[in-house]
Amino acid sequence: MKNLKRIESTVTIIAFSLFFITNDTIELSAAKTKSENKKNYIVSSNHIDKIEKKYGLSNSLNKSSQEDLKEKNLVSVHITENEAEELEMKSNIQYIEEDMIVKASNSENSFHKKREKKIHKNNSKIEWNMQMIRHTKRIKKTHNKIKIAVLDSGVDYGNDIDLAESISLVPGEEEMSPLFIDGTGHGNSVAGLIAAIDNKDGITGVNPNAEIYSIRVLDDNNCSPVSRVIEGIYLAIERNVNIINMSFGLDSYSRALEKAVQDASDRGILIIAAAGNTADKGVQFPAAFNKVMAVGSVDKNGELAHDSAIGKEIEIVAPGELVRSTGALGDQLVASGTSLAAPQVAGLASLIWEKDISVSANFVRELIKESANRYGIKEKYGYGLIDVEFAMNNYNLFKHNYDKDSSNEIPENQEKIICYDETGCVAGSWSSSVHGEFIPSENKNVKKGARFNDKEIHKEGNFSDNKPMWRYAGMRHNPWWHGYWKKIKQNLVKDYDVNYVASYIYLTKLANNISNYKNISRPSTLPSMVENEIKSDISYIPWSSSDALNKSNPTNGEKRAFVWGMALHSLADCFAHNTYITVNGKNYPISHDRKYPYADTITYKEERYQHAFLAVRSAMEKYKDSSHPNGTYTDFLPLSTATQYKMGGIVNFIYDVAGSSAATPFRNVHCSTK
């Protein structure tokens, strides 16, 4: 076979020792395994439509992503190895390769002896990693916005980050709320290190001025097929970004991935990737490509982290061992790995670039390398530890020499490396056996609950339209879980409005009384049918599933957090699924389809998501209160200042819950259309 890697069947080898006697039976078994086991493959051809018609598409990409790949003469199909071999022999096939899975990554030049400045304990408000890379000054706002695509597990809107756009390429997540898009915390931590805002709340990123384009390719297991990464790269190209950050990797070479990286580089994009937490097993792809800056990780002593990848491709290093970053729902977390080192390099690149947007990606890349503190061998440290202050101080000299096409020399960086006995970032439950995973924040189970409402968990029963019905997903079938204003019939007699304000408050009440929720009475503003549906849904939560808490016997506190998260999802969805705009005196819903398909698009009437974020933050204060108060209508108060949109039924529903005076502030933003 020309390009396709042959994989020996370990199943057949094991079977031989147990069952088979002759070579003939072994070969038959191998052939059967080879023909029956299907995998996803990426195919490059000028006859994509014919291939799709014959084999069908894989389920690793959503429909729009497959269409985008077709424009590049690529398709992802789910076929056997025999079929892949047959395809590869056809003359109209450029190449075919397995659509492998990438996972998050949670000497030609001389070097000098390392000089240290040892600090016993970091008592500064500035994070230890920022001090190590010599970045302690506040960043002034600039008119040059550098656009950085973060291909990762997503970035939650409102998380102290200038989020220009949020897109999920993971199938089935087309309607996932941007407030809860990051399923693992990986993307939040990466984006936070690049660009968390300097507002004295949480950490501050290397460059708060940077504009983040979040492209979710990693799923809730921090994995992605290569085809989805490729789609993310081309999407970043379409958005005309300056920098792409990829904090994940795979061990095997992919021609299709290299082509996408090359196309991005040809468009003037600087590509930065985590080298991998693979130690001496080598640098992972895409970091190993020549067009990518491969970033390794150092610890609090400036020494290479014990699992940071080693190899000739390493270009630069940054702190990545127990680094504090942005967490979920206002939390911070401490994490480790080259995944955390790469975004600090991306942040420095954006600082350099915003001084003069006309310079090339190569200029930025070379200045980062030339200004680094080069105190270790290249296979481990590349050109050295990034140094923000040294790079910025020598910018003009480097640019002068670069423009004159000289040797680009600037003074050698021999600054002392700031090292620590104690950084102030403790490991908590972290241990070496799970190195690179995230320390659980106190809000992690709330976040899991907030994402759960969109999980397509089948509901039992026979339905008139013969279509599957989901127990929690779908705002029309489950309006109480999605802040949706809908009329329903109770006992097929009378129409009722589902009061989404009352639903939200009731959900928080059930969460606070989770050990006794079946005996909690409903408010008079909710029909008994809604009460029964909600309680039934809670009773069916699959606690031991990876979709929920992944624990067979969660505590009541963990259950409370989870159901509170489900309530927050309902609260936030009010600002997406139940909002209206006025055009020529008429009210139109902001929906998922037809004329105004922007319900979950943060850039469409962005004020909605600003208010949703504030509403969730208000609710989180109640969740954290030790007296366990329920949610209230006051969590909707940010809406009262809306100028870009209105909310359906809000005055009537708050009137029913809390009376006339409570409803008064919402009269200017009320929409009665339904």
Q: Which residue has the tokens 């395994």?
A: 33
The span from the CA of 26 to the CA of 41, in Å, is 26
β-pair partners for 326: 332
Report the 10 Å Cβ neighbour count for 117: 10
CB 205 within 8 A of CB 194: yes
672 sits in which H/E element? none
Our answer to whether residue 339 is catalytic in this structure is yes
Whole-number Cα distances in Å, 416 to 113, 137, 385, 536, 656: 10, 18, 11, 62, 66
228 sits in which H/E element? helix 226-238
Our answer to whether residue 143 is catalytic in this structure is no
Residues in contact with 109: Cβ distance below 8 Å, sequence separation at least 6, in sequence order:
374, 378, 383
Selected catalytic residue, list 135, 186, 482, 577: 186
Selected catalytic residue, list 68, 152, 299, 497: 152
Selected catalytic residue, list 153, 227, 336, 339: 339
Residue from 341, 342, 324 nearest 333 by CA: 324
Q: What is the CA radius of gyration of the chain?
A: 27
Q: Please report how the helices 361-371 and 395-403 are oriented relative to each other, as an axis angle in degrees rounded to 10.
A: 130
Residue from 406, 394, 316, 402 nearest 362 by CA: 402
Report the 10 Å Cβ neighbour count for 646: 22
Residue from 308, 265, 310, 305 nearest 289 by CA: 265
Range 154-169 burial, b when 16+ CB lie within 10 A, else e: bbbbbbbbbbbbbbbb
The span from the CA of 452 to the CA of 176, in Å, is 10
Active site residues: 152, 186, 339
